[in-house]
Amino acid sequence: MSVRTRILERIRTALADRPALQLPDVPEPAEVAWEEAYQNFAQRLEGSGAEVVRFGSPQEARGWLSEFAKSFHRAWVSPRVPERLRPDLPEAEPEVAELGVSYAQAAVAETGSVVLASREGRRGQLLVPTQLVWVEAEVLYPSLLAALRAVKGEGGAALGLHSGPSKSADIGQITVKGVHGPGRLVVGVLAFARDTTDRSSAPRDPVQRHDGELKAFRDKLKKLALEGRTLETREGKAFSVRKLSETGKTVYLELGNGAKESLPTAYLEAAVSWILTLHGRHQVGPSELGQAVASQLGLKSSVKASYLWGILHALGYV
């Protein structure tokens, strides 16, 4: 009999007269708005000795990066890092690089963690003395549970959660940093809607599903169709939602000039999900919105962004 069979048999015998016990549901953490999530994230990370920098625009991030890069000579940069976020430094192997730059698969506010994918290369995340990790606003999850759900099965053979610089208190209970992994962790949070045209080098990142909120959104949409209110695009063009298709999958519009248009509900839902993931980042224009939807759904064609924006604006999402 194989060891495997023996062990399994012993277990089955041991459990023969014992009832299977109930598996409890996983505790669902409370939803947290993006700004609060960011605060938690920064506070936790700083609490464990990391540095957190927040950027309101791509220019700001870029400017900071060129300053930051000055104190290093060579860097290892993850292939996942988009062009605009790569330091202007000669690239080097992780064994000799002074700086490693990673692009987070996800980030966790609750625990102050960045989630790094092995697809980037793990040595570059571990052997460098200083690590810079970019976090896009939309991959910052309020809870560990939400982040784990988003990255489940993603990222390659292994994921690493980094929640601060490497440390140890094994020598006389005195904390020292940089024992094996990076002794300095800098996290750059890109707290602006992503420039979705620059996605070439970055794989698609997860946008959270907000099923409860989406249901509410569909109800609001139905109501809008019933009321037949006049809506406006940001450019001031009037239009209205005429009706929803039988299946609810298409929204039919009537434009000011009497022309007819249609819009897949999926576009609207993708836009809502994206907005909610950004938690309170309502200041988006039609083109940004359109790009986000297109990139999320993998579309190349137009998503009729101006009407999309008009509807979401009327319902208070933007």
Partner 1 sequence: MPERIKDFPRASASLIEDHPEVREAVYRATLHFDQNRAKAYAEVPVEAWRDYARDVKAHLLSRLADYLEKAEARLKENGAEVLWADGPEDAHRILAEIVERHGVRRVVKAKSMLTEELGVNAFLEARGLEVYETDLGEFIIQLAKEPPSHIVGPAIHKSLDQVRRLFHEHLGTPTDAEPEALAKAARAFLRERFLTAELGISGANFLVAETGTIALVENEGNIRLTTSVPRVHVAFVGIEKLLPRFDDLAVFLQLLARAATGQPIGTFVSLIQGPKKDDPDGPEALYVVLVDNGRTAALADDEAWEVLRCIRCGACLNVCPVYRQVGGHPYGFVYSGPIGEILAPHFLGVEGAYPLYNASTLCGACGEVCPVRIPIPKLILTWRHRAVDSGLTAPAEPQLIRAYTETMRRPAAYRLASKALRLLPSALASERLPVVRAWTRYRAGLTPSPRPFHELWEELEDERKNANP
**3-state SS assignment for residue 292:** helix
Give backbone dihedrals phi and psi of 254, rounded to 5 degrees, phi first: -120, 125
Question: Judged by CB under 8 A, how many residues of this single chain contact partner 1?
Answer: 71
Binding of partner 1 by 184 (CB under 8 A):
no
**3-state SS assignment for residue 190:** strand
Kindly tell me the burial class for residue 150, based on how many C-beta atoms sit within 10 Å of its own C-beta (0-12, 13-18, 19 or more): buried
Q: Which residues in 273-312 contact partner 1 (CB under 8 A)? A: none
Our CB check for partner 1 shows the closer of 18 and 300 to be 18
Within 8 A by CB and 6+ apart from 221, the residues are 241, 244, 251, 265, 268, 311, 315
- Least distance to partner 1 from the beta carbon of 83, Å? 19
Q: Which residues in 15-54 contact partner 1 (CB under 8 A)? A: 15, 18-24, 26-27, 29, 44, 48
Closest to 163 in 3D by CA, of 207, 131, 120 = 131
When binding is defined by CB under 8 A, the residue of 171, 197, 257, 316 that contacts partner 1 is 171
Q: Which residues in 66-125 contact partner 1 (CB under 8 A)? A: 79, 95, 110-113, 118-123, 125
When binding is defined by CB under 8 A, the residue of 181, 188, 206, 290 that contacts partner 1 is 181
Tell me, rounded to whole angstroms, the distance of Cα 106 from its chain centroid: 5
Our CB check for partner 1 shows the closer of 157 and 259 to be 157
Stretch of 57-65, 147-155, 223-231, 282-290 lying at the interface with partner 1 (CB under 8 A) = 147-155
Binding of partner 1 by 6 (CB under 8 A):
yes
Q: From CA 230, how far away is CA 311, in angstroms rounded?
A: 10
Binding of partner 1 by 149 (CB under 8 A):
yes
Stretch of 2-10, 213-221, 279-287, 304-312 lying at the interface with partner 1 (CB under 8 A) = 2-10
Our CB check for partner 1 shows the closer of 176 and 238 to be 176
Radius of gyration of the chain from its Cα atoms, rounded to whole angstroms: 24
Stretch of 84-92, 180-188, 189-197, 271-279 lying at the interface with partner 1 (CB under 8 A) = 180-188
Rounded (10°) CA dihedral 169, 172, 173, 178: -20
N-to-C CA span, the chain: 66
When binding is defined by CB under 8 A, the residue of 10, 62, 215, 249 that contacts partner 1 is 10
Are 104 and 80 a contacting pair, CB within 8 Å?
Answer: no
Our CB check for partner 1 shows the closer of 108 and 224 to be 108
Our CB check for partner 1 shows the closer of 49 and 58 to be 49
